[in-house]
């Protein structure tokens, strides 16, 4: 298992949070996703044998958000 924290450009509404959490939770291997609206961050735990942090960031980008940076830690 790994954990990723992604810093986003500012989120503009709470529905953005729901949209991102929903899309990432549907990905195979994602165990837990939390979007911190006020901090404009995403924290996710995932099985790195099924999905990569890069593909999670790509999913967020495909939704129309800008990932400024990401940090991955192995658990």
Q: Convert the pLDDT of each residue in 45-71 to its tens digit.
A: 999 999 999 999 999 999 999 999 989
Domain boundaries in the chain? 2-74
Q: Which CATH class is domain 2-74?
A: alpha beta
Pair 49, 35: CB distance under 8 Å: no
pTM for this predicted structure:
0.91
Q: What is the tens place of the pLDDT at every residue in 8-54?
A: 997 888 899 999 999 999 999 999 999 999 999 999 999 999 999 99
Pair 62, 45: CB distance under 8 Å: no
Q: If pLDDT is split at 50, 70 and 90, which confidence band does 75 have? A: low
**Is 74's pLDDT higher than 80?**
no
């Amino acid at each position: 298992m790994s954990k990723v924290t992604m810093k986003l450009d500012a989120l503009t509404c709470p529905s953005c949070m729901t949209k991102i959490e929903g899309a990432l939770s549907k990905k195979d291997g994602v165990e837990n996703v939390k979007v911190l609206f006020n901090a404009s961050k995403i924290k996710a735990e995932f099985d790195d044998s099924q999905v990569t942090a890069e593909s999670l960031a790509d999913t967020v980008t495909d939704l129309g958000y800008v990932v400024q940076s990401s940090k991955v830690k192995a658990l």
